[in-house]
Structure 1
Amino acid sequence: MAEQDQSGLEWRAGDLPVSTRFGDPYFSLDNGLAEARHVFLAGNDLPARLCPGFAVAELGFGTGLNMLALALEADRHAGPIRFTSFEAYPMSAPEIARALAAFPEANAIAQPFLAAWTKGIRKFSLGALTVEVVIGDARETLPQWQGMADAWFLDGFSPARNPELWSPELMAEVARHTAPQGSFATYTAAGHVRRGLNAAGFTVTRLPGHGHKRHMTAGRLEPPA
């Protein structure tokens, strides 16, 4: 039984948020925190690569679950680590809190984030992370960003439902804002996404996915020949 609210969300199975705008859940039915660790942390080889000054960027902030998974890992390393996420349709703090309640490990460190979010603060610290969430259409905000990322979490809604966030033009912007030998990881293995990332300069590898998903995609930015 699904429960709808007025903010573009539908709640399924109690606390699984689904975007009614895109008809897609915010995280995996097969444990969203485990998915974040498998796809984004392991996919970018972050347990081995994190170090002071490392920069991670993300398309699709959602509930902040990927950020919290990164924070849990980053706290095992010397900080600070920068995290920048781009989000067009931010959830409210109560909505995020409801979703995160399903993940006690992540929820245990979420209070500074939720306190900042409640106040409308989009730059804050979370353990070893210094966080900025950029609100707006990434097709407009990413080209204006002055930063560079060592690793990208590409976590927009399904390419079939939200094609704008997976266009070749936006993948080229991702590459333009990636440090040499920087990486990306994403849950999707859609062919047009892989081709767009490859055309942007990434080597692209299809890997085993999380849970019921057979495949995911990861890659590194190769220097020009």
Structure 2
Amino acid sequence: MQDQRAELEWREGQVPVSTRFDDPYFSLEDGLAETGHVFLAGNGLPDRFRDGFHVAELGFGTGLNFLATWAAWRATGLPGSLRFTSFEAFPMAVEDMAAALAAFPTLEPLAAQMLAAFELGIDVVLEVAVLHVVPGDARAALPAWAGKADAWFLDGFSPAKNPELWGADLMGQVAAHTEPQGTVATYTAAGFVRRGLADAGFTVTRVPGFGRKRHMTTGVLG
């Protein structure tokens, strides 16, 4: 198992920035609103939620996307369970996750549960949500994964700073691990990312981005 931890500095006191990739983990403007716009709305959520709905993600980071998804599921009052699988090459220490998530007090009750139970590489059962964070390079871990997702959050660091997580081969693996008519969303509108997703079989759309980002990308498989 890979044992490389995230290397951080803190911007404006609350926003963790990867020193390895010189990139913040979430928007300096409003990370929770960014998650809602890009990953939830970008995948048609919560409207598509159903029992057993499976979200997969490249880049777990602070866990903010998972917590926002779990909160959205709880708000619907749907019966059943939500699955969330994330691939993370450089996992953040739990105490750093806690410091970052303190910026989002509305998520505090859920964050406390997640942080208390968090463990890499196993199913962590949190009320109706089952979280599994797979450590290691997604280029090796994703091909070995047996699952398929209904929705993908592509949230690795910027393609310009971490191109390894956005290559055509990995986008092909994302498609291979997506249910028919499954979706994908990402904050980037980089041309090579959009082409990689299109070549993998997604119908790709460029849509308005969050905050100062003019565009982002969504896609539907098939």
Please indicate the TM-score interval, normalised by the length of the shorter structure: over 0.9
Structure 2 segments unaligned to the other structure (5+ residues): none
The percent identity for this pair of structures is 62
Equivalent runs, 1:55-134 vs 2, <5 Å: 55-75=54-74, 76=76, 77-117=78-118, 122-134=122-134
Q: Equivalents in 2 of 1:105, 1:183: separation in Å?
A: 27
State the match for 2:27 in structure 1. Answer: 28
What is the letter of the counterpart of residue 92 of structure 2? M
Runs of 4+ residues over 3 Å off in structure 1: 119-122
Gaps of 5+ in 1: 1-5
Q: Give the SS at the match of 1:111.
A: helix
CA distance, structure 1, for counterparts of residue 150 and residue 85 of structure 2: 11
Tell me, what secondary structure is at the counterpart of 2:43? coil
User: Once the two structures are superposed, what CA deviation does each residue of 1:92-148 show, in whole Å capped at 9, x if it has no partner?
Assistant: 11100000000011222111210122x667421223211100000000000000000
The aligned amino acid for 1:156 is G
Give the match for residue 3 of structure 1: none
Aligned residues: 216
CA RMSD, Structure 1 to Structure 2 (Å): 1.3
- Residues in 2 aligned to 1:7 and 1:71: alpha-carbon distance in whole angstroms: 24
Q: Structure 1-normalised TM-score?
A: 0.93
Which residue identity does 1:41 align to in structure 2?
Answer: L
Assess if the C-alpha contact under 8 Å between 1:116 and 1:122 holds in 2: no
Q: Is the 8 A contact 1:71 1:126 kept in 2?
A: no
C-alpha separation between the residues in 1 aligned to 2:128 and 2:89? 25
Per-residue CA deviation, residues 160-193 of structure 1 (Å, 9 max, x unaligned), is 0000000000000000000000000000000000
Instruction: Give distance in 1, aligned partners of 2:205 and 2:143.
Output: 26
Deviations 1:53-81 (A, max 9, x none): 11110000000000000000111222201
Q: Any idea what SS the aligned residue of 1:174 has?
A: helix
Residue pair 1:171, 1:197 contacting (<8 A) in 2 also = yes
SS at match of 2:46: helix
CA separation of 1:7 and 1:149: change in aligned 2, threshold 3 A: closer
**Residue in 1 aligned with 2:11?**
12
Query: 2:124 aligns to what SS in structure 1?
Result: strand
- Counterparts of 1:126-145 in structure 2, within 5 Å, are 126-145=126-145
CA shift, 1:7, in A, is 5.4
Do 1:8 and 1:20's aligned partners in 2 also have CA atoms closer than 8 Å?
Answer: yes
The alpha-carbon distance between structure 1 residues 7 and 84, as it changes in their structure 2 partners (threshold 3 A), is closer
